[in-house]
A and B are shown apart, each in its own frame.
Chain A
Amino acid sequence: MKSFSEIDTTVKRASKSIGFEWGIAEELGKNIRLLEMFGLAGLKNLNSYFKIYNQKQFQKISLISKINTSNIAYCPIISGTNFLDQVINLEKMDEINFENMAFPLLFLPFVSRSTEIIGKRIFLNIDEKEFLLNFNQSIYSNYLSGNIIDAAKKIKIKFIENKNTFEENEWQELYKLSEGTFVEETEQLKNSAAGAGLTDND
């Protein structure tokens, strides 16, 4: 088994070798390590992408907008880097769409890391595959295959507002149960158990 440290270093070097700048190569090392840690086939997808990277043309987007379409497939690495760099502005758009992206799994870790910057979860659709990206701590998904995904027709990124998954009445019900661990204070306990002064602001 290759260690994550080996994966990080080798990916960084391979990425520089294929033509990316060192700074982006550093990002890719961390990203593929992240995908592999989460059990997603990062290295396999990167390797496949690099095999065609210099043979085919890919759209290298700079400024990301709400809807991004291109006849030439978007490069997932440049798209991802710019997504990461622009996420504070992009968040205001609520939802971002890409059409036609090559090797979209390579785009995913950039989005995952963006959740940490903005402090919000992101729901990512790669065609029919769904990923809930949780503050770069975990990924919840309906996609478990370790296969190569060489293209996505549609990618949807939805910023999720920070809110609880439960209703107030459900909270109250549980809170009431938790009160079962509290002791009702007698007058004696009120005077002796708190430890602070008996009068306020004394």
Chain B
Amino acid sequence: MEIQIRDPKEVMKLSRLGSFHQSKLSFLRSFLQEFKNWEYKRDLLDLDENGFGVVIYSFKKKNRIYSLICFANKISDQERSDRVIATKWDAAFTLFDGVPTKQDIERLKQNVPKQEVGRMSFKELTLSRANKSVRIFDYVVECLSKGKQPDKGKLAKVGYLYRTTAVYGSGKFGLADRFRIKNREEIYGPFRLEMMLVYLVRQFTFDQVNHIAKSKNPKKAVTLDPNISRNLGIGNSTGLGMAPFIVNHPLLLNNWIMARETALKQIREIKEVKKKDVDLIISCLQNSKKNIDNWTTESEFQLLKINNLKKDLDLLLQYFLTKFDFEKEFSYNDLYIWAKNNLGEECLEFMVSVMMEPYEKITNPLIRTMSADEEKFFTIPIDKTILDLRKVLELKYSDILKIDFKKKENNQNFWFISKNKEEPRLANRFQDEGSDLEQPLAIARDICKLYERISNEKNSLKIGTFLMNNNDLRHVVRRAFITEKFPYAEIQDNTIGSKLMPIDMLRLKLSFFGAVKFDPRSDKWLRICMFQGAPLPTELTTSSDHWVYNSIN
């Protein structure tokens, strides 16, 4: 039986993309899998009694070494902010290509803590900063210094000791351009080096908390129990900065979603389902119920989604226990059809993620397809005709062409870049100033304009000739021909309408990173947790790949 991949017009709607969950394809999980056999080392721990100073970690294999350099700094409580406008952080980090010299460390000490206003070089690969969790960092230090382990219940409410507020790579602020490293075998997957940084930062948070506790009370202090450490991740605050990324990188977006959709298709095509595989899926679903119970948020939007997920998860487990028929061929396909008709988007996509767990043979080859050489498809195919373009628009953008942009509510927002922080922002076109400097992220609106513009053009007219007088729509002509080849390259929704929930765009990207516990703080930013439940660096070689479903406090 051949199953078709799901229709982009179904999958690429914002509410659906905003219901995605981490999976075996997520970058932090595939990173850990690929770096299992690398040699991990803490090369330097030079902290004072308050935990301020420098720490260096490395991953090594053959001649390749990546070093994380951490700078822990003293800041006042008033200076601590998750917002992108902050200028000081409790700690700042950079991933260095190789082994840093003393001169490198000195140079980086002057620049890394400054983040956006510092300058990096091509020797540095990624850059980040993080703040202590005010809710639990000092509490954990206090407990450990008194010889006690912290209360697991209290930790579960937060889930991390530090929260990063940005992770930069790919040439930002002078960091190495991607072309310098893209042919390295070990980092063929997207965001490998960003994931490495975050993973090692997590270890730094444990080492720092242990160090401070020990300094405080050398005789009585204990180190944080590894079982507790393992169940702490790294928090992250994410604002609108991430949203335009998925619009600006259509090919990359396609490759991520295509990998997910291909995995689902291949699983649905399994003729004879093995009991041990279904048992693994059921066990992941059951374990994750506890994680979902620990998923706390004050967001009504998210609470509703979580409650629906809980309710639907019970239905799904019930299906597995009472209706799932091993004897029948293609029972996963039956399951999917049932789920599509009976579960909400949140649980449907959760199920799609969990279904991948037993099938490394399906997911591993797909991980290799998740990067993209976007330059290859940048040049517009000028020899194509208006007829070709019209066909692409009618076939690939049919839902978008139905949106009436004359209506105020469909045209309400505009995206712009803030002068202060050079970060993307969203504002109301009819209330706020700045729409004349709108970023080209209103793809649906511009596609509609393009469709209208070509309505009176001759079918035989070449695109190159059409562009002579229509360069104002050049950016969407380029996109249309990318979408022609790559079905999941485009969000099939309006990114400037009044009903837009920007956090849907953030969640899509974060789910591919492998984030969990999405906690929207408004419709424009959210907190998440990464690597919660992940093996510690010293446990990597022997760890289970299904750790994400066991992260229970």
A residues near B (Cβ < 8 Å) are: 1-6, 13, 21-24, 26-27, 30, 62-63, 81-82, 84-89, 113, 116-117
B378 touches which of A3, A22, A30 (Cβ 8 Å): A30
Task: Contact check, B475 vs A1: say whether CB atoms are below 8 A apart.
Answer: no
* Chain B neighbourhood of A63, CB < 8 A: 468
B478's partner among A2, A23, A87, A88 (CB-CB below 8 A) is: A23
Enumerate chain B interface residues (CB-CB to A < 8 A).
Answer: 121-122, 170-179, 375, 378-380, 382-383, 417, 440, 462-465, 467-469, 471-478
| Contact between chains at A5 and B382 (CB < 8 Å) | no
The residue in chain A whose Cβ has the minimal distance to the Cβ of B474 is A23
Task: Known A-B contacts: A3-B176, A22-B475, A23-B475. Give 8 more (CB < 8 A).
Answer: A4-B177, A4-B179, A26-B475, A84-B382, A85-B382, A86-B465, A113-B379, A117-B379
Are the C-beta atoms of A3 and B174 separated by less than 8 Å?
yes
A22 near B177 with CB under 8 A, answer no
Q: A6-B174, A30-B378, A117-B382 are in contact. Are A23 and B179 (CB under 8 A)?
A: no
**B174 touching A1 by the CB < 8 A rule?**
yes
A86: B residues at CB distance < 8 A: 382, 464-465, 468
Instruction: Establish whether residues B474 and A22, one from each chain, have CB atoms under 8 Å apart when the complex forms.
Output: yes
Nearest CB of chain A from residue B390's CB, rounded to whole Å: 19
Closest to B438 in A: A22
Q: A4 with B171: in contact, given A21-B471, A82-B468 (CB under 8 Å)?
A: yes
**Would B473 and A23 count as touching, CB distance under 8 A?**
yes
Instruction: Report yes or no: A85 in contact with B464, Cβ–Cβ below 8 A.
Output: yes
Q: Is the CB–CB distance between B468 and A5 below 8 Å? A: no
11 examples of A-B residue contacts, CB within 8 angstroms: A1-B121, A3-B177, A4-B177, A23-B473, A23-B478, A26-B378, A62-B468, A84-B379, A84-B382, A85-B463, A116-B379
Cβ distance B287 to chain A, nearest Cβ, rounded Å: 41
Residue contact B469 to A23, C-beta cutoff 8 Å = no
Point out the residues of chain A lying under 8 angstroms from B463, CB to CB. Answer: 85
Contact check, A3 vs B122: say whether CB atoms are below 8 A apart: yes
Q: Is the CB of A23 within 8 A of B472?
A: yes
How far is B473's CA from A30's CA once the two chains are assembled, in angstroms?
A: 18
Contact of A23 among B170, B177, B468, B471 (CB under 8 A): B471
A-B contact count (CB 8 A): 78
Q: Contact at A5–B475, with CB atoms within 8 Å? A: no
What's the least CB distance linking B531 to chain A, in Å? 27
Q: Are B474 and A24 in contact (CB under 8 A)?
A: yes
**What's the minimum C-beta distance from B179 to chain A, rounded to whole angstroms?**
7
From B121, B172, B462, B477, contact of A5 by CB (8 A):
B172
Given contacts A6-B171, A30-B375, A85-B467, contact A23 B477 (CB under 8 A): yes
**CB-CB < 8 A to B471: which residues of A?**
21, 23-24, 81
In the complex, the answer to whether B171 meets A3 with C-beta atoms within 8 Å is yes
- Known contacts: A62-B468, A63-B468, A86-B465. The answer to whether A5 contacts B378 by CB under 8 A is no
From B382, B440, B467, A87 is in contact (CB under 8 Å) with B382
Q: Are A26 and B478 in contact (CB under 8 A)?
A: yes
Chain B contacts for A23, CB-based, 8 A: 471-478
**B175–A88 touching, CB < 8 Å:** no
- CA A62 – CA B469 in complex, angstroms? 8
The residue on A at minimum CB distance from B479 is A23
The residue in chain B whose Cβ has the minimal distance to the Cβ of A78 is B471
With contacts A22-B475, A23-B478, A30-B375 known, is A5 near B469, CB below 8 A? no
Residues of B close to A26: CB separation below 8 A: 378, 474-475, 478
> Nearest Cβ in chain B — how far from A7, in angstroms?
9
Q: Considering the complex, give the chain A residue whose CB is closest to the CB of B169.
A: A5
**Smallest beta-carbon distance B115→chain A, Å:** 15
Tell me if B468 and A85 are in contact (CB < 8 A). Answer: yes
Instruction: Please give the distance in Å from A175's CB to the nearest CB on chain B.
Output: 33
By beta carbon, the residue of chain B nearest A64 is B468
* Complex CA distance for A85 and B464, rounded to whole angstroms: 4
Bound complex: CA A71 to CA B171 (Å): 42
Q: Tell me the minimal C-beta distance from B111 to chain A in angstroms.
A: 13
Q: CA separation between A24 and B470, bound complex, in Å?
A: 11
Q: Quick one: closest B residue to A5, CB to CB?
A: B171
Best-surrounded residue of A5, A13, A113, A117 (most CB of chain B within 10 A) = A5
Chain A residues near B467 (CB-CB < 8 A): 81, 85
Measured CA separation A27–B440 after assembly (Å):
14
A6 in contact with B172 (CB, 8 Å): yes
Cβ–Cβ < 8 Å partners of A113 in chain B: 379
List the A side residues contacting B122 at CB < 8 Å: 1, 3
Evaluate contact between A21 and B472: CB separation under 8 angstroms: yes
Closest CB pairs A-B (n = 8): A23-B474, A5-B171, A3-B171, A85-B464, A23-B475, A22-B440, A22-B475, A21-B471
Of B172, B382, B473, which is within 8 A of A3 by CB?
B172
Contact in complex: B178, A5 (CB < 8 Å) = yes
- Chain A residues with Cβ under 8 A from B378's Cβ? 26, 30
With a CB–CB cut-off of 8 A, which chain B residues contact A3? 122, 171-172, 174-177
Residues of A within 8 A of B121 (CB): 1
Whole-angstrom distance between the Cβ of B96 and the nearest chain A Cβ: 16
CA distance A199 to B175 in the complex (A): 62
B472's nearest neighbour on chain A, judged by CB, is A21
Given A13-B417, A22-B474, A88-B382, A5 and B464 contact (CB-CB distance below 8 Å): no
CB A3 to nearest CB in B, in angstroms, measures 3
B177 to A88, Cβ gap below 8 A? no
Q: How far is the CA of A21 from the CA of B468 in the complex (A)?
A: 12
List of B residues within 8 angstroms of A88 by Cβ? 382-383, 462, 464
Residues of A within 8 A of B170 (CB): 5
Chain B CB within 10 Å, residue with most, of A4, A22, A63: A22
Across-interface contacts of B178 in A (CB, < 8 A): 5
- Which B residues are in CB contact (< 8 Å) with A82? 468
For the complex, give the distance between the alpha carbons of A181 and B375 in Å.
40
Q: How far apart sit A82 and B380, CA to CA, in the bound complex (Å)? A: 12
- Residue in B closest to A113 when the chains form the complex, CB atoms: B379
Once the chains are docked, how many angstroms separate the CA of A27 from the CA of B211? 52
- Chain B residue nearest to A63 (CB atoms) is B468
Q: Which of A24, A63, A85 has its CB near the most chain B CB atoms (within 10 A)?
A: A85
Which A residue sits closest to B381, measured CB to CB? A117
In the bound complex, CA of A174 to CA of B220 (Å): 80
Q: Which of B467, B469, B478 has the most CB of A within 10 A?
A: B467
In the bound complex, CA of A2 to CA of B121 (Å): 8
